[in-house]
Amino acid sequence: MTKINKQDRFWETIPFDQLDQKQWESLCDGCGQCCAHKLQDDETEEVFLTNVVCQYLDHQTCHCSVYENRHQYVPDCIKITPENAKTLNWIPETCAYRLVANGKPLPEWHPLVVGDRASTKQANMTILNKVISEEDVEMDDLEDYLVEDDYFSHLLVKIGAK
């Protein structure tokens, strides 16, 4: 397997907000966490996690199956940007965008570090096997699928965040 050369570790040398589109997209490790539905309290704006995921999350690869045209299918699929990566309160601590935005290193299993797009799944760092597709639940009952904030804590342990 080909490792990416040190000089190619652009995320460590180029300012976060100056990455080109390809570099930016490649930061996503494909963990799938951001594709889990959340519920927000109308009054407090507190966000609660569920273990139900968007129907377009591919359960083999943990990648979005409609990524290029995703906003046609899911208009409220929020695009993570250099501006909101630090502030969106529902982005998980382990998200590569949040890590880099906060000056933290990418984990050793990250696709850019390993040089293999499938490395996240191979390292068991995806949400696969812990989630249900929205196609298999009644979305009016989403509250029945609320989980604790640390539901995906296997990911936190493996990046050394806990």
Q: Which residues bind ligand SF4 (CB under 6 A)?
A: 28-35, 54, 56-57, 64, 66, 70, 73-74, 77, 80, 92, 95-97
Q: How far is C-alpha 139 from the geometric centre of its chain's CA atoms?
A: 22
Nearer to ligand SF4, 28 or 159 (CB): 28
- Residues 91, 28 contacting (CB under 8 angstroms): no
Nearer to ligand SF4, 7 or 111 (CB): 111
To ligand SF4, the closest distance from the beta carbon of 144 in angstroms equals 20
To ligand SF4, the closest distance from the beta carbon of 43 in angstroms equals 25
To ligand SF4, the closest distance from the beta carbon of 141 in angstroms equals 19
Nearer to ligand SF4, 15 or 75 (CB): 75
- Residues 119, 111 contacting (CB under 8 angstroms): yes
Nearer to ligand SF4, 43 or 148 (CB): 148
What is the CB neighbour count within 10 angstroms for residue 99? 22
* Residue 36, H or E segment: strand 36-40
Two tokens, residue 128: 């696969």
To ligand SF4, the closest distance from the beta carbon of 58 in angstroms equals 8
Q: How far is C-alpha 61 from the geometric centre of its chain's CA atoms?
A: 13
Q: Residue 61: which of 33, 31, 91, 34 has the closest Cα? A: 31
